[in-house]
Amino acid sequence: MIKLENIKKEYKMWENIVEVLKWVDLEINSWDFVSIMWPSWSWKSTLMNIIGMLDVATSWKYTFNNIEITWKKEDDLSKIRWKNIGFIFQSYNLISRMPVIKQVMLPLTYQWIAKNKREKMAIEALEKVWLADKRNNKPNELSGWQ
């Protein structure tokens, strides 16, 4: 469960302050499937970064699965992230020299899952998106969609 209250996000650019989110409230319950659609340059990625605990708001109150996130330290946030959150970034953030299978296995490494189990899980995940046969390709050997 995700509950954000009174989120405000400002970016400081030299002398200017860009106000991106202003007093936003958001509640997403377990099993909700939510998509956020709004024009470009609005606030979607800013909000996703806050929900994903990759960035903090200028002022906010955030509760995630009944855990109060607002004042958590980076180390605690990274633990909550790797246990609960998967990301697909707008700019992909793939590692250029790493084959597909290793990219998929990487987050599992941080969870101390054994190598043969990581490999099995990664292949199963790749099969679900028809990419198992591309497991040894590097990012520049994939199409945009892939």
Ligand X SMILES: Nc1ncnc2c1ncn2[C@@H]1O[C@H](COP(=O)(O)OP(=O)(O)OP(=O)(O)O)[C@@H](O)[C@H]1O
Residue type, 110: Y
Instruction: Kindly give the pairing relationship between strand 16-28 and strand 67-68.
Output: unpaired
**Could you identify the residue written with the tokens 């700019």?**
91
The item of Mg ion, ligand X, none sharing an interface with residue 18, based on CB under 5 to 8 Å by kind, is ligand X
Q: How far is the CB of 93 from ligand X (least distance, A)?
A: 14
Instruction: Label residue 104 exposed, middle or buried (CB < 10 Å: 0-12, 13-18, 19+).
Output: buried
Specify the residue, 49 or 78, whose C-beta has the smaller distance to ligand X.
Answer: 49
Distances (CA, A) of 38 to 35, 58, 62: 10, 22, 22
| Torsions phi, psi for 79 (to 5 deg) | -65, -45
Specify the residue, 46 or 78, whose C-beta has the smaller distance to ligand X.
Answer: 46
SS3 15: coil
Q: How far is the CB of 42 from Mg ion (least distance, A)?
A: 9
Q: How far is the CB of 89 from ligand X (least distance, A)?
A: 11
Residues near ligand X, by CB under 6 A: 11, 13, 18, 20, 40-46, 90
Specify the residue, 31 or 38, whose C-beta has the smaller distance to Mg ion.
Answer: 38
Q: How far is the CB of 132 from ligand X (least distance, A)?
A: 30
Residue nearest to Mg ion (CB): 45
